[in-house]
Amino acid sequence: MAPFKRILIANRGEIAVRVIRACREMAIESVAVYSDADAKSLHVMLADAAVHIGAAAPAASYLSIDAIIQAAQSSGADAIHPGYGFLSENQDFAAACAANSITFIGPPADVIATMGSKVAARELARKAGAPVVPGETPREQTDAAIADAARHVGFPVLLKPSEGGGGIGMKAVRNDSELLSAIGQARREALVAFGDGTLYIERLIDSPRHVEFQILADAHGHIVHLFERECSIQRRHQKVIEETPSTAVTPALRRRMGDAAVAVARAAGYRNAGTIEFLLEGRGDQASFYFLEMNTRLQVEHPITEQVVGVDLVAAQIRVAAGEPVPWIQSELSQRGHAIELRIYAEDPARGYLPQAGLLALYREPRLPGIRIDSGFVEGDEVSVHYDPLIAKLIASGETREAARHRAIAALESFPILGIRTNVGLLLELLQHPRFVSGAIDTRFLDAEAEALRARLITEPPPEALAVAAAVSDTPSSIANDPWSALRDLRL
Amino acid sequence: MVGAAGPAAVKITPLGDGRYEVATDAGRTIAYGARRGGQTWVFLRGRVYVVEGNDNQSRRARHHDETAMSAPMPATVVAINVTPGQAVKAGDVLVVLEAMKMELAVTAPQDGRIRDITCRVGELVQPDVPLVAFDEPESSNESR
């Protein structure tokens, strides 16, 4: 019997598509929600039903608790999956679901509140026995008080939105002279993104790796971890490439980190899927790790865990939300092979990662062995200025890291996206960079290499590309729209 | 069509639906092409090349890179750091925009004086629409 009758997905883009597909496999009806900008989006087309919830601006639609609760009631949904971003880590939303007898597919509201507060989460992790990075949230949030706290914690520091996540609004400050302008900018970005400008100041551990552990907990006290994901390839604290296993994690270190992750989840009274993020200093058995934060939701990069552990995390989320036990026991779980996820963003790495919006004039996903594409777009769709610039996630799996890496390169080389600039060229350069190839990466790697990589991205078109361009210009539209071309894959 | 490019000849065969076979002495591959506005986009061996056309739209795009006094894309104004009459130095942040969850700074292209502010905080602004009117140092007293 299906755990729910009808699930509303309070999100858009690739993650809404991912959850809708899980619902379909489980014989659960899916309800999409959409803003003015998304009326014709893929997630709306795929769901069994769709409800319009407001204007394009996120505050008027995907961040509107009232609009989404109303949509759930009018469509008869008995559960809501929040995806990631938007309301996924909003305790008021989780509480509103509970108050309206709708199951929130995620942890209880009070757990979101605790783990969403960097101070409370850190304190909880410390008490649970997980090491933490020095840092504080000044009680007074004046520029002067924040500056004092930064000096007290000791440079270099990170300014982080206290209510934040996903790297949004985080600023690294290396000395006093950069401090005041960084405080203003971090506060503004925190206000825009999370509606709260409170800042948390943390010691910046130079050149660490970002290694996180996936956990799943049920309402019966069972908690398992599903091993690590290494997410060190980041630009401005936004993840770009993730992989599992990590090249820095040995079996003994994996056990220590996994035990710490489960201990934190248990101390939090956690339920459903969550991720414990650690900073890792060094590699191997002697490495030190620090609890960074907990993401109380499904992660963007969950597919690499699914590929290597051989599980369906979204289906598991839905089952434990309905009161079923965690479908696995720890000793049954193991990692097999390697998976790498590439985030394909509508942005121009050659111009400071400037976000790009516009029409996907040509968009053809590759079909190759060991390649999974999670995307919310099809050819002809518009990438909107209103939302995050993620177009697709390309997940390459193989028996070894090298096999997965080669498959990732081959897949990017057969993934044409035209009409919007993307970071595909940068991803190709990264996959072939000697440091990525050897696995000697850290969270500063991409920003440190940015200049050199940028130079490699700006290349004059070779003669073949100019010849193709001339052929495109010469092509009458009747050829491009030739109905017989649509039959090219058929054998007549 | 056949294009002569240096010693190696390139033969392009349209396959329909934006696909093109590219054959050279070195081998052959499939490329993709699409026209968008005044630009032709080409995908070849994992790389995208944008070949500018000659119409107004591409000239406007080039013009934008030179001045940078307008939004590079549709964006919301989150802060205006200057007032009319204020003297600014090249690189000073005049206006802060927000788009796709990121802040973008609009900076002064050179030293000068702010003549007028033509946007409001909270306003959604479009590309190529000036946000700030700007006088270069000597030009304010001279007509030209």
Is A59 an 8 Å CB contact of chain B?
no
How many Cβ atoms are within 10 Å of A91's Cβ, its own excluded?
20
Radius of gyration of chain B (CA): 22
- Which pLDDT tens digit goes with each residue over A446-472? 999 988 998 898 888 998 999 999 999
The reported pLDDT for the residue numbered B57 is 40
A328's enclosing H/E stretch is none
- Please report the DSSP string for A364-383 in residue order: -----TTEEEEES--TTPEE
Helix%, strand%, coil% for chain A, nearest 5: 40, 25, 35
Q: Is the pLDDT of residue A491 over 60?
A: no
Residues forming beta bridges with residue A466, ordered by sequence position: none
Amino acid (one-letter) located at A85 = G
The reported pLDDT for the residue numbered A475 is 58
Q: Which of residues 466-485 of A touch B (CB under 8 A)?
A: 466-475, 479-480, 482, 484-485
Is A322 an 8 Å CB contact of chain B?
no
Instruction: Give the mean pLDDT of A314-333.
Output: 98
User: B138 φ, ψ to 5°?
Assistant: -85, -20
Q: Which of residues 332-391 of A touch B (CB under 8 A)?
A: 353-359, 361-362, 364, 385-389
**Inter-chain residue contact B45 with A413, CB threshold 8 Å:** yes
Q: Is the pLDDT of residue A34 over 90?
A: yes
Give the minimum alpha-carbon distance from B143 to chain A in angstroms, rounded to a whole number.
Answer: 35
CA distance A481 to A417: 19
Of the candidates A131, A130, A121, A208, the residue with the CA atom closest to the CA atom of residue A172: A208
CA distances from B59 to A100, A250, A357, A461, B64 (A): 56, 56, 19, 19, 9
Instruction: Report yes or no: A3 and A324 within 8 Å, Cβ to Cβ.
Output: yes
Contacts of A361 in chain B (CB under 8 A): 34-36, 41
- Which pLDDT tens digit goes with each residue over A148-187? 999 999 899 999 988 776 677 788 999 999 999 999 999 9
- Which pLDDT tens digit goes with each residue over A40-56? 999 999 999 999 999 99
CA distance A261 to A278: 9
Instruction: Give the mean pLDDT of B75-97.
Output: 85
- Please report the DSSP string for B44-59 in residue order: ETTEEEEEE-SSHHHH
**Inter-chain residue contact B33 with A467, CB threshold 8 Å:** no
Amino acid (one-letter) located at A382 = E
Residues forming beta bridges with residue A34, ordered by sequence position: A52
User: Which among B34, B46, B74 has CB closest to A361?
Assistant: B34
A130's enclosing H/E stretch is none
Amino acid (one-letter) located at A226 = L
CA distances from A198 to A141, A146, A151, A204, A463 (A): 7, 10, 18, 18, 54
The reported pLDDT for the residue numbered A477 is 47
Q: How many Cα atoms occupy the beta-carbon half-sphere of B86 within 13 Å? A: 14
Q: A252 in the Ramachandran plot: left (φ > 0), alpha (ψ -120 to 50) or beta? A: alpha
Q: Is the pLDDT of residue A482 over 60?
A: no
pLDDT confidence bin for A194, thresholds 50/70/90: confident
CA distance A436 to A209: 13
- Identify the DSSP state of B110: S
The reported pLDDT for the residue numbered A109 is 98
Residue of B nearest to A356 (CA): B73
Catalytic residue among A122, A297, A343, A405: A297
Instruction: Report yes or no: A323 and A219 within 8 Å, Cβ to Cβ.
Output: yes
Q: Is the pLDDT of residue B58 over 70?
A: no
Instruction: Give the mean pLDDT of A19-45.
Output: 97
The reported pLDDT for the residue numbered A389 is 94
What share of chain B has pLDDT > 70, as a percent?
74
CA distance A47 to A381: 17
Convert A406-475 into a string of H (helix), E (strand) and C (coil).
HHHHHHHCCCCEECCCCCHHHHHHHHCCHHHHHCCCCCCHHHHHHHHHHHHHCCCCCHHHHHHHHHHHHC
Helix%, strand%, coil% for chain B, nearest 5: 10, 55, 35
Residues forming beta bridges with residue A122, ordered by sequence position: none
Q: Which of residues 408-467 of A touch B (CB under 8 A)?
A: 409, 412-413, 416-419, 421-422, 424-425, 428, 459, 461-467
Instruction: Give the mean pLDDT of B71-96.
Output: 84
- Which pLDDT tens digit goes with each residue over A230-257? 999 998 779 999 999 999 999 999 999 9
Say if residue A108 is preceded by a cis peptide, omega within 30 of 0: no
- Which pLDDT tens digit goes with each residue over A332-387? 999 999 999 999 999 999 888 889 999 999 999 999 999 999 999 999 999 999 99
> How many residues are listed for chain A in this entry?
492
User: Which among B44, B53, B104 has CB closest to A468?
Assistant: B44
Residue of A nearest to B52 (CA): A469
Strands B8-16, B19-24: pairing is: antiparallel
The reported pLDDT for the residue numbered A195 is 85
Residue A144 neighbours by CB under 8 Å, 6+ apart: none
Q: Is the pLDDT of residue B54 over 60?
A: no
Residue A302 neighbours by CB under 8 Å, 6+ apart: A214, A273, A313, A314
Instruction: Give the mean pLDDT of B14-38.
Output: 93
Is A489 an 8 Å CB contact of chain B?
no
- Which pLDDT tens digit goes with each residue over B28-42? 999 999 998 889 999
Give the minimum alpha-carbon distance from A206 to chain B in angstroms, rounded to a whole number.
Answer: 24
pLDDT confidence bin for B137, thresholds 50/70/90: low
**The token pair that represents A362 in the structure block:** 């040509």
Say if residue A461 is preceded by a cis peptide, omega within 30 of 0: no
- Specify the pTM: 0.79
pLDDT confidence bin for A474, thresholds 50/70/90: low
**Inter-chain residue contact B1 with A471, CB threshold 8 Å:** yes
Contacts of A486 in chain B (CB under 8 A): 17
- Which pLDDT tens digit goes with each residue over B109-127? 778 888 888 888 888 887 7
The reported pLDDT for the residue numbered A21 is 98
Looking at per-residue pLDDT, the higher value among B79 and A93 belongs to A93
**The token pair that represents B74 in the structure block:** 């549709």
Q: Which of residues 156-185 of A touch B (CB under 8 A)?
A: 168, 185
B62's enclosing H/E stretch is helix B56-67
What share of chain A has pLDDT > 70, as a percent?
95
Give the minimum alpha-carbon distance from B36 to chain A in angstroms, rounded to a whole number.
Answer: 6
**Inter-chain residue contact B16 with A480, CB threshold 8 Å:** yes
User: Which among A388, A428, A480 has CB closest to B17?
Assistant: A480
H helices present in A57-153, as ranges: 65-75, 91-99, 109-116, 118-127, 143-153
Establish whether A151 is a catalytic residue.
no
Q: Is the pLDDT of residue A479 over 60?
A: no
What share of chain A has pLDDT > 90, as a percent?
82
Give the minimum alpha-carbon distance from B125 to chain A in angstroms, rounded to a whole number.
Answer: 11
